[in-house]
Amino acid sequence: MKNRILAIVSILIVSGLFFGSRFVLDAKKDISEKIMISISGTSIAQDVKKENPTLVPIPTPHPQIAVPEPTSKYIKLLFLGDVMLGRYVRTLMDKNHNPNYAFAKAHTITGPGANFLDGYFDRVIANLEGPIVPNPNYAQTGTNFGFAPDTAQIVKNNGIDIVSVANNHTLDQGQKGFISNLNYLRQAGVKYFGHPMLPIESDTLYETINGKKFAFIGLHDATHRLDEQAAAKLIQKISPTVDYTVIVIHWGIEYKKTPSQRQQQLARLFIDSGASLIIGHHPHIPQTIETYNGVPIIYSLGNFIFDQYWSDATQHGLTIEAVFSTDPANKSIQIFEHPVDLYRSQAVWK
């Protein structure tokens, strides 16, 4: 009898250890998934959203142009590189008593096409290199970014319609800072896409422009190794449902003029999976442009607004005008390069 009791007790102890460990593992997995999954659609985002961050009114740098619904046979998108509105860029904005300081010279170009960021393009898309938070980081050095609450309205007032948040600085202020960033952008009317960790369909932005459906997918492979197979599957799933699938990706090696082997491998994988255009950034300088199976690959745009004055290379950026036809029989994309110089953190068209 005693032996039977001992056997039963042993079984209960072993079972408890097994199921207890499973419970702990499941709990850890659940926590990990909550951290890693797309923030924009979670209950956490809804809770933070109730905080209603206050937008700071920012005067527009010029009268806004009322642009009618496009009737052109073409769709024109402008892609900008890294936009960093903290650190010494913010200091210059404050010293000049002008919240629009960084964009002051970016609205007009020499020759035809005035108001370059104001209605000339159907959409202007940039990489927002950091989160917008209630308590910004005003440090002049370091790489932990946190932009002031008025940043979203500044971005909106200066003609940027859409930003990617898939980069290595989006989580500089943690998960709450990430959600705060999305809330400020949403309130200012700036659309966003991408995730700093995972390729998830809910973080894809769908836009119908002049009758054509676009999907913007934001990916990060710079300081975080992207799950390329998951990204490929996402592109394979989305591409048949839209006219154009645009990949905007943070990748590569900083200050390197040519793409790495990893960048080239990913680009080919994404194109084989159905990508229509690939736009890259993170190296802070422009990199080469090539075509694979008829699809343009812009490996790096470099900087558009930044404060990296210590290098001549980082003071020259590239913007890309991508022109799409509305003709169903014409799926080709024309690429036009618009170089910029950065003068004391102001983008100036070359």
Nearest-angstrom CA–CA distance, 347 and 38? 32
The verdict on residue 258 lying in a domain is yes
The verdict on residue 29 lying in a domain is no
The verdict on residue 8 lying in a domain is no
**CATH number for 153:** 3.60.21.10
The verdict on residue 13 lying in a domain is no
The verdict on residue 301 lying in a domain is yes
Amino acid identity of 170?
Answer: T
The verdict on residue 23 lying in a domain is no
Runs of H (alpha helix) within the chain: 2-36, 43-49, 87-95, 151-157, 174-188, 228-238, 261-273
Confidence (pLDDT) at 192: 98
The verdict on residue 2 lying in a domain is no
Nearest-angstrom CA–CA distance, 45 and 146? 19
Coil/strand/helix, residue 204: coil
- The dihedral formed by the CA atoms of 14, 19, 24 and 29, expressed in degrees to the nearest 10: 140
Confidence (pLDDT) at 139: 87
The strand pair at 289-292 and 205-209 is best described as: unpaired
Confidence (pLDDT) at 62: 52
203 Cβ contact list (under 8 Å, min separation 6): 38, 40, 166, 193, 194, 195, 218
Confidence (pLDDT) at 350: 81
Nearest-angstrom CA–CA distance, 175 and 66? 37
Confidence (pLDDT) at 308: 95
User: Mean pLDDT for each consecutive 10-residue tract of the chain (350 residues)?
Assistant: 47 41 37 42 42 64 45 88 97 96 80 62 96 93 95 95 97 96 98 96 97 97 97 98 98 97 98 98 98 98 96 96 93 94 92
The verdict on residue 18 lying in a domain is no
State the residue range of the domain holding 336. Answer: 37-349
The total number of structural domains in the chain stands at 1
Nearest-angstrom CA–CA distance, 241 and 233? 14
